């Protein structure tokens, strides 16, 4: 188990324990737990893949004051994210050859990239005015961790004449790896009180994962049903 996975499990366990304790002590404590479910869309804009997927999810939260909630959210995109590109993967031209010669003796390869996001976890604070009206806006800020299974399929589609198709320099096959993609999260929401305890909450969040030279951003739009105890 990786260090990030251990942190996720520890965070989930801590939040769940906090929520249970807060629920049991609700009569004596100003802390107010809440739970909910959500449905929405999950859009990815990354170097390797892009696309959009439906994404159900759930929420566990705790109102720590009249102005601040802390919350854990999990979303589960149901579709994969893909991108296909074509490029010269290797060339058998001599060193110092012209661009035309490099392209003429180059192997053209198709790259089929795919990402399956098994879960997206967010730990955030929701800052909002005191809930004195039926509609309460909120600012969301925190961090997110995306659990992603990536694969790249290499398919040669053009090999120069005289080159052995079985040459070890020619990419042909598939690579797979799993990684955790962390990013800061910012967004906003509007909580609409339907009953004294039940709220409908449209929510928009942006995960900025483009740290360094790699592009890994996500836009998440959801509608939640929240029950506040």
Question: Is 35 domain-assigned?
Answer: yes
Q: How far apart are CA 199 and CA 138, in angstroms?
A: 13
CA dist., res. 34 & res. 116, Å (int): 30
User: What pairing do the DSSP bridges indicate for beta strands 135-158 and 173-193?
Assistant: antiparallel
Report the CATH number that the domain containing residue 37 is assigned in CATH: 2.40.160.20
Of 30, 160, 27, 34, residue with least CA distance to 91: 160
Tell me the residue range of the domain where 77 lies. 3-81+116-146+179-228
Kindly state whether residue 100 falls inside one of the protein's structural domains. Answer: no
Q: Is residue 121 part of a domain?
A: yes
Q: pLDDT at position 67, please?
A: 94
**Per the structure, how many domains does the chain have?**
1
Query: Does 25 map to a domain?
Result: yes
In this structure, is residue 207 part of a structural domain? yes
Query: pLDDT averaged over the chain?
Result: 87
Is 203 inside a domain boundary?
A: yes
**Which pLDDT value is given to residue 214?**
80
Note whether residue 172 is domain-resident. no
Residue 161 is assigned to a structural domain of this protein? no
Contact indicator for 123, 142 with CB cutoff of 8 Å:
yes
Q: What is the pLDDT of residue 11?
A: 52
| pLDDT given at position 23 | 46
- pLDDT averaged over 10-residue windows placed end to end, the chain, 229 residues: 49 49 48 94 94 97 95 96 93 89 91 96 95 94 95 92 86 91 95 96 94 86 96
The pTM is what? 0.79
pLDDT in tens, 14-40: 554 455 454 444 444 568 999 999 999
């Amino acid at each position: 188990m990786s260090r990030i996975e251990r942190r996720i499990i520890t965070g989930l366990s801590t939040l769940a324990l906090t929520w249970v304790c807060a629920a049991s002590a609700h009569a004596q404590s100003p802390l107010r737990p809440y739970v909910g479910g959500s449905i929405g869309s999950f859009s990815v804009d990354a170097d390797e893949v892009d696309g959009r997927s439906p994404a159900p999810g759930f929420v566990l939260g705790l109102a720590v004051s009249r102005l601040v909630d802390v919350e854990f959210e999990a979303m589960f995109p149901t579709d994969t994210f893909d991108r296909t590109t074509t490029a010269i993967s290797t060339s058998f031209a001599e060193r110092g050859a012209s661009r035309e010669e490099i392209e003429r003796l180059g192997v053209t390869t198709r790259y089929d990239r795919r990402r399956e996001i098994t879960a997206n976890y967010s730990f955030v604070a929701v800052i909002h005015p005191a809930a004195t009206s039926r509609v309460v806006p909120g600012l969301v800020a925190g961090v997110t961790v995306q659990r992603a299974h990536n694969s790249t399929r290499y398919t040669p589609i053009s090999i120069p004449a005289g080159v052995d198709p079985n040459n070890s320099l020619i990419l042909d096959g598939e690579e797979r790896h799993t990684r955790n993609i962390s990013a800061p999260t910012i967004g906003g929401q509007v909580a609409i009180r339907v009953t004294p305890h039940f709220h409908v909450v449209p929510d928009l969040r942006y995960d900025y994962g483009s740290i360094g030279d790699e592009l890994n951003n996500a836009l998440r739009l959801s509608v939640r049903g929240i029950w506040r105890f």
